[in-house]
């Protein structure tokens, strides 16, 4: 639907250093922080797109269930690049989260 955005993203991704990119994904593939996330004690917003295949809603719910007091947002109809797909929706959600957490008022 938005070939100009796709072209821009492809160009940006092509500028990534291949070794750094591979190293970052190696950490994601080989590290499991699932057993530690219940130790997070700061206000936490977990957000993903409903149709995100990578950072999917199942993973988001898993984190939400383990991070005390976290807030979960699953954006209907969005995929992996929620900031590109719906920047205003995401910005409003983040703004609302920041304005209505104890940390913002303490």
Contacts of 40 by beta carbon, 8 Å cutoff, 6+ apart: 67, 68, 70
Contact of 85 with 79, CB cutoff 8 Å: yes
What is the pTM assigned to this prediction? Answer: 0.79
Residue 84 half-sphere exposure, CB side, CA atoms within 13 Å?
A: 12
pLDDT digits (tens, 9 = 90+) for 48-94: 999 999 889 999 999 999 999 999 999 999 999 899 899 999 999 99
pLDDT digits (tens, 9 = 90+) for 15-50: 999 999 899 888 888 887 777 899 999 999 999 999
pLDDT band at 103 (very low <50, low <70, confident <90, very high): low
Q: What is the mean pLDDT of residues 6-22?
A: 90
């Amino acid at each position: 639907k938005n070939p100009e955005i796709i072209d821009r993203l492809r160009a940006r991704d092509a500028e990534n250093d291949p070794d750094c990119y591979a190293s970052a994904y190696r950490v994601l593939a080989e590290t499991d922080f699932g057993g530690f996330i219940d130790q997070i004690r700061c206000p936490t917003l977990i957000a993903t797109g409903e149709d995100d295949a990578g950072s999917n809603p199942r993973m988001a719910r898993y984190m939400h269930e383990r991070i005390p007091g976290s807030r979960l947002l699953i954006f209907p109809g969005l995929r992996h690049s929620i900031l590109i797909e719906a920047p205003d929706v995401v910005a409003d959600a983040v703004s609302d989260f920041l304005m209505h957490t104890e940390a913002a008022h303490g």
